[in-house]
Copies of this chain bind each other. A is one copy, B any other.
Amino acid sequence: MGKTYIFGHKNPDTDSIVSSIVMTNFEKKLGNTDAVACRLGAINKETEYVLNYVGIEAPELIEDVADGEEIIIVDTANPSELIPNLSNVKIKKIVDHHQVLLNTSYPVFYRAEPVGCTETIMYKLYNEYNIEIDKKIATLMLSAIISDTLLFKSPTCTETDIKAVKELSKIAELDYETYGMDMLKAGTDLSSFTIEQILSLDAKAITLKDKKSVIAQVNTASIPDVMKMKSELESGMNKMIEEQGLDLFMFLITDIVNSNSQVVALGNSASIVEKAYGVKLENNTALLKGVVSRKKQVVPIMTENA
Which A positions have Cβ atoms within 8 angstroms of B? 97-114, 124, 128, 295, 300, 303
Nearest chain B residue, comparing its CB with the CB of A299: B105
Nearest chain B residue, comparing its CB with the CB of A100: B104
A303 to chain B, nearest CB (A): 8
From B99, B102, B109, B124, A113 is in contact (CB under 8 Å) with B109
The reply to whether B102 and A100 form a contact with Cβ atoms under 8 Å apart is: yes
From B97, B107, B114, A97 is in contact (CB under 8 Å) with B107
Which residues of chain B are near A102, meaning CB under 8 Å?
A: 100, 103
A sample of 22 inter-chain contacts (CB < 8 A) reads A99-B103, A99-B105, A99-B107, A99-B108, A100-B104, A100-B110, A101-B103, A101-B104, A106-B114, A106-B300, A107-B113, A107-B295, A108-B114, A109-B113, A109-B114, A110-B110, A110-B112, A110-B113, A111-B111, A111-B112, A124-B128, A128-B128
- Most chain B beta-carbon contacts within 10 A, residue among A100, A106, A112, A295: A100
CA A220 – CA B30 in complex, angstroms?
A: 40
The reply to whether A100 and B99 form a contact with Cβ atoms under 8 Å apart is: no
Which residues of chain B are near A128, meaning CB under 8 Å?
A: 124, 128
Nearest chain B residue, comparing its CB with the CB of A295: B107
Nearest chain B residue, comparing its CB with the CB of A110: B112
